[in-house]
Amino acid sequence: MSGAHDEHGHHHREPESVLSLRVRALESLLVEKKLVSSEAVDRIVGAYEQDIGPHNGAKVVARAWVDPAYRQRLLTDGTAAIEELGFGGVDLQVVENTPGVHNLVVCTLCSCYPHALIGLPPVWYKSFEYRSRAVREPRVVLHEFGVDLPESVEIRIWDSSAELRYLVLPQRPPGTERLSEAELANLVTRDAMIGVALVPPPTAAAR
């Protein structure tokens, strides 16, 4: 995926594609007619790329990994701790994964989800299948997501509601001792904060 977000496409080393030229022509015409402004387009792309993704939640997780006092506050009172970082508006309980306990979040009734932290819920989260099976056979569901936990690990299911949302604090992967807080945040995925994935070590990370 690297290179996908290179500035605005005009610094390509390869010759610019026909489609790219056509879209630039289109933008140039629409700007000329004052139907759009390039600044508005920039802001929209930025907002959709970032606000919809799991960036805010990832920042919370990374802070908890590097700051033990913050981690403690986060686990004691999630709502207050996320407000410290400027993310509010939701009653939140944070549940911590440990070598012996793995947490999985579901909303059996509908699709309650901590939007402010991890963006919009994926389609599968809202599916009847996930909502029912996560409770009934979490180990099988986790296996289907590619997570195979030893039998000795206890799996705890957290059922979100309109009043209280849950966020999983994943385990910090090994080999990340020298990473900065921002680099750590880049490793944290939405799925890890729902509990259907582990945070991969940096070498295996997709980005």
State yes or no: residue 204 binds other proteins (CB under 8 A). no
State yes or no: residue 9 binds other proteins (CB under 8 A). yes
Residues 6+ apart with CB under 8 A from 94: 60, 64, 74, 75, 78, 81, 166, 167, 168, 169
State yes or no: residue 30 binds other proteins (CB under 8 A). yes
Shortest Cβ distance from residue 124 to other proteins (Å)?
A: 11
> Catalytic residue at 111?
yes
Q: Say how far apart CA 55 and CA 40 lie, in whole Å.
A: 22
Give whole-number Cα distances, 12 to 18, 20, 102, 103, 106, in Å.
13, 10, 44, 44, 43
* CB-based contact 131:79 (threshold 8 Å): no
β pairing state of 92-96 and 165-169: parallel
Q: What is the 3-state secondary structure (H, E, C) of 36-70?
A: CCHHHHHHHHHHHHHHCCCHHHHHHHHHHHHCHHH
Shortest Cβ distance from residue 46 to other proteins (Å)?
A: 7
State yes or no: residue 89 binds other proteins (CB under 8 A). no
Phi first, then psi, for residue 14 (nearest 5°) are -75, 160
Q: Which is nearer to other proteins, 126 or 133 (CB)?
A: 126
Q: What one-letter code names the amino acid at 70?
A: Y
State yes or no: residue 69 binds other proteins (CB under 8 A). no
Among 27, 83, 96, 159, binds other proteins (CB under 8 A): 27
Catalytic-role residue among 17, 28, 37, 110: 110
Contact range with other proteins by CB under 8 A, out of 68-76, 128-136, 143-151, 185-193 = 185-193
Q: Which is nearer to other proteins, 71 or 105 (CB)?
A: 105
Q: What one-letter code names the amino acid at 17?
A: S
Q: Which is nearer to other proteins, 6 or 91 (CB)?
A: 6
* CB-based contact 46:57 (threshold 8 Å): no
Among 170, 189, 196, 199, binds other proteins (CB under 8 A): 189
Among 41, 85, 116, 157, binds other proteins (CB under 8 A): 41
State yes or no: residue 162 binds other proteins (CB under 8 A). no
Q: What one-letter code names the amino acid at 81?
A: A
Q: Which residues are catalytically annotated?
A: 107, 110-112
User: What residue ranges bind other proteins (CB under 8 A)?
Assistant: 1, 4-10, 17-30, 33, 35-38, 40-49, 51-54, 118-120, 122-123, 189-191, 206
